[in-house]
């Protein structure tokens, strides 16, 4: 590769040779508009403002309604300021500016999950190595537009976090013959004090299980995964998963102080070992500071057993 090609690598994806960390250089993203903090930018994601976005790439629509007009329930548009030119989409949850995911009717939230599945399928069948879905809530969570939406990022490499997880799934299976995430759920279900479920890290059980991980990176960090070992989110029953996700997001929204992220990890396009899809919810009560940045280790100010009790108390 010439020096110039090395400087201007594919899709702006670059790796620091000293620490191995990947960076996406995305000039222009720093200029994207924000409507948090009172700026009066017209919202491009509201019903009736379809002309303010690039043409839609997918939507769930009322029969007879035309693309890029009203009549949609969930709408997908390319990100105007992409981190990845070919694989950065915005999934607008509903035409409503006010309703967060957990405020939607169960069938509406299921529609959003169906759209996640559809777009993941397109990305993974279209040559991406992996695709993740993320959502940012609140300014401290990195949100720039208030209208509730998620984003799909499809990448040509496996993101390092997913690669680390895949490695741990493999090592655990080779060593114990079981799924590391199924085992983690069982551990979270087991109370510290026999017979007292209040001493477990389980937040709720069901077809979708919610628990606080033993070693959280964020105070109140919550993980969700199907109780039955399932590799790929595209196989999930959206209506059943929507019910659990609604409870988990409502409990997080009630306790996280308005700022959190969540992301969905599903199997990459080519899975060699095993995987178990899951959603991680990360409350953002404090900024990521020097120690975290300088060590790649977290300091978590809330014990996960206590966090589970707080989240259980917030369940409706």
CB of residue 57 vs Zn ion: minimum separation in angstroms? 19
Separation CA 57–CA 89 (nearest Å): 9
Q: Is the CB of residue 255 less than 8 Å from the CB of residue 310?
A: yes
Question: Please, which residue, 26 or 154, has the CB nearer to Zn ion?
Answer: 154
Residues forming contacts to Zn ion in the complex (CB under 5 A) are: 43, 45-46, 97, 147, 179, 181-182, 229, 265, 276
Question: Please, which residue, 26 or 202, has the CB nearer to Zn ion?
Answer: 202
CB of residue 45 vs Zn ion: minimum separation in angstroms? 5
Question: Please, which residue, 124 or 181, has the CB nearer to Zn ion?
Answer: 181
Q: Which tokens go with 183?
A: 């085992």
SS3 labels along 145-189 = CCCCEEEEEEECCCCHHHHHHHHHHHHHHHHHCCCHHHHHHHHHH
Question: Please, which residue, 147 or 201, has the CB nearer to Zn ion?
Answer: 147
Q: Which tokens go with 130?
A: 């992996």
Question: Please, which residue, 137 or 276, has the CB nearer to Zn ion?
Answer: 276
Separation CA 240–CA 137 (nearest Å): 24
CB of residue 213 vs Zn ion: minimum separation in angstroms? 10
* Three-point CA angle 256, 229, 236, nearest 5°: 70
**149 - beta bridge partners?**
92
CB of residue 160 vs Zn ion: minimum separation in angstroms? 12
The kind and range of the H/E element at 24 are strand 22-24
Exposure on the CB side of residue 300, measured as CA atoms within 13 A: 20
Question: Please, which residue, 251 or 267, has the CB nearer to Zn ion?
Answer: 267
């Amino acid at each position: 590769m010439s020096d110039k090609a090395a400087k201007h690598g594919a899709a702006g994806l670059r790796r620091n040779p000293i620490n191995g960390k990947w960076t996406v250089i995305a000039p222009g993203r720093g200029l994207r508009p924000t409507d948090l903090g009172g700026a009066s930018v017209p919202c491009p994601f509201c019903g009736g403002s379809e002309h303010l976005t690039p043409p839609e790439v997918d939507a769930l629509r009322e029969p007879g309604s035309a693309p890029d007009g009203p009549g949609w329930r969930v709408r997908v548009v390319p990100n105007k300021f992409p981190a990845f030119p070919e694989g950065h989409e915005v999934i607008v949850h509903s035409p409503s500016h006010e309703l967060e995911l957990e405020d939607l009717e169960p069938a509406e939230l299921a529609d959003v999950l169906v759209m996640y599945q559809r777009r993941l399928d397109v990305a993974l069948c279209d040559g991406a190595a992996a695709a993740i879905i993320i959502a940012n809530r609140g300014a401290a969570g990195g949100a720039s537009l208030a209208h509730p939406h998620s984003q799909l990022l499809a990448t040509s490499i496996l993101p390092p976090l997913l690669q680390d997880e895949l490695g741990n799934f493999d090592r655990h299976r080779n060593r114990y013959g079981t799924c590391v995430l199924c085992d983690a759920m069982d551990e979270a279900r087991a109370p510290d004090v026999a017979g007292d479920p209040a001493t477990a890290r389980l937040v709720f059980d069901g077809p979708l299980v919610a628990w606080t991980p033993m070693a959280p990176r964020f105070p109140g960090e919550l993980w969700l995964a199907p109780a039955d070992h399932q590799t790929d989110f595209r196989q999930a029953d959206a209506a059943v998963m929507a019910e659990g996700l609604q409870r988990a997001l409502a409990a997080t929204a009630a306790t996280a102080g308005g700022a959190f992220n969540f992301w969905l990890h599903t199997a990459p396009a080519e899975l060699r070992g095993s995987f178990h899809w899951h959603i991680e919810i990360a409350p953002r009560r404090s900024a990521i500071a020097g120690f975290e940045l300088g060590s790649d280790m977290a300091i978590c100010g809330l014990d996960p057993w206590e966090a589970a009790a707080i989240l259980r108390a917030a369940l409706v």
